[in-house]
Chains A and B, each alone.
Chain A
Amino acid sequence: MEIGLNHYLVLSTILFAIGLVGVMRRKNLLLLFFATEILLNSVNIAFAAISHYYGDLTGQMFAFFVIAIAASEVAVGLGLLIVWFKRHGNIDLDTMTSMRG
Chain B
Amino acid sequence: MFEAIAFYLFAFLTIVMFYIVVTTKQALYALTALAAGMIFISAFFFILGADFLGAVQIIVYTGAVMALYAFGMMFFDSTRDIKEKQGNKFIVVGLATLAAVLVVVIFAAPMVSENIVAFYPHVEGVGNTQEVGLVLFTKYLIPFEVAAVMLLVAMVAGIVLAGKKMDLSLTLMNAEEIKEAEEKNKKVLS
Spell out A's residues near B (CB within 8 Å).
1-3, 7-22, 24-28, 30-31, 33-35, 37-38, 41, 44-46, 48-52, 54-58, 60-61, 63-65, 67-76, 78-83, 85-87, 91-92
Cα distance A3–B121 in the bound complex, in angstroms: 21
B53 at the interface (CB under 8 A from A): yes
Cα distance A28–B26 in the bound complex, in angstroms: 11
Cα distance A84–B93 in the bound complex, in angstroms: 30
Pair B93/A8 contact, Cβ less than 8 Å:
no
Pair A27/B162 contact, Cβ less than 8 Å:
no
- Which residues on the A side are within 8 Å of B100 (C-beta)? 13-14, 16-17, 20
Q: Can you give 18 contacting A-B residue pairs, CB < 8 Å?
A: A11-B14, A18-B21, A21-B96, A27-B85, A31-B21, A48-B50, A55-B118, A56-B116, A56-B120, A56-B121, A57-B131, A61-B140, A67-B56, A74-B68, A76-B154, A79-B159, A86-B185, A91-B76
- Told that A35-B21, A65-B143, A80-B161 touch, could you supply 13 new A-B pairs with CB distance under 8 A? A15-B18, A25-B85, A25-B92, A26-B85, A54-B116, A58-B135, A60-B50, A61-B140, A69-B150, A71-B60, A78-B68, A85-B76, A92-B83
In this complex, what residue of A is CB-closest to B185? A86
- Residues A75 and B158 in contact in the complex (CB < 8 Å), given A9-B104, A31-B82, A60-B50: yes
- Which residues on the B side are within 8 Å of A14 (C-beta)? 15, 100
Residue from the list A20, A68, A75, A85 in contact with B157, Cβ < 8 A: A75
Spell out B's residues near A (CB within 8 Å).
1, 3-4, 7, 11, 14-15, 18-19, 21-22, 27, 30-31, 34, 37-38, 41, 44-45, 48-50, 52-53, 56-57, 60-61, 64-65, 68-69, 72-73, 75-76, 78, 82-85, 87, 92-93, 95-97, 99-101, 103-104, 107-108, 111, 116, 118-122, 131-132, 135-136, 139-140, 143, 147, 150-151, 153-155, 157-162, 164-165, 185, 189-190
- Which residues on the B side are within 8 Å of A25 (C-beta)? 22, 84-85, 87, 92
- Residues A87 and B189 in contact in the complex (CB < 8 Å), given A44-B41, A64-B53, A79-B160: yes
Q: How far is the CB of A45 from chain B (nearest CB, A)?
A: 6
- Residues A85 and B75 in contact in the complex (CB < 8 Å), given A17-B97, A75-B158: yes
Pair B38/A41 contact, Cβ less than 8 Å:
yes
- Which residues on the A side are within 8 Å of B101 (C-beta)? 13
Pair A65/B147 contact, Cβ less than 8 Å:
yes
Q: How far is the CB of B186 from chain A (nearest CB, A)?
A: 9
- Residues A31 and B30 in contact in the complex (CB < 8 Å), given A3-B7, A14-B15: yes
Pair A11/B56 contact, Cβ less than 8 Å:
no
Residue from the list A11, A65, A67 in contact with B57, Cβ < 8 A: A67
